Amino acid sequence: MKGLLQAATAGTALAVAVPFLALTESSASASAQADLASAPGQATAQGRVHAPIPLRVRGKANRFGQTHRRLPNGTSVPLRCSVTGQRIYGDRTWYRLATSQREYVAAHYVDIVSGSVPRC
């Protein structure tokens, strides 16, 4: 963040960085539903987010992976497959979402509502 502020005062990169942050953080619930529905036929299971705060969708199966967006509690998510990743409350399972990008959510925060989730 400090780098963005310095860039803003220098007059560089702010126009590119601010819209990206605004898009991923402020419109997460609306764009998340649209993105999650954009990959029909690839999901083998359907899950529902159960998290006290919006669940981070990450680029890797660990909490250090880049956050792509956040999913509010109750969001329905199509699941492609499961992988072993960083342990979250004793659970090493992460689900890869059935979207056009490689996106993962910790299985601890997702209930399977239909189908089964194969291994990746």
SS (H, E, C) the chain: CHHHHHHHHHCCCHHHHHHHHHHHHHCHHHHHHHHHCCCCCCCCEEEEECCCCCEEEECCCCCCCCEEEEECCCCEEEEEEEEEEEEECCEEEEEEECCCCCCEEEHHHEEEEEECCCEC
**pTM exceeds 0.75 for this model:** no
pLDDT digits (tens, 9 = 90+) for 30-76: 444 444 444 444 667 999 999 999 999 999 999 999 999 999 999 99
Q: Are 7 and 1 in contact (CB under 8 A)?
A: no
Identify the CATH assignment for 2-115 out of 2.20.28.10, 2.30.30.40, 3.40.190.10, 3.40.640.10.
2.30.30.40
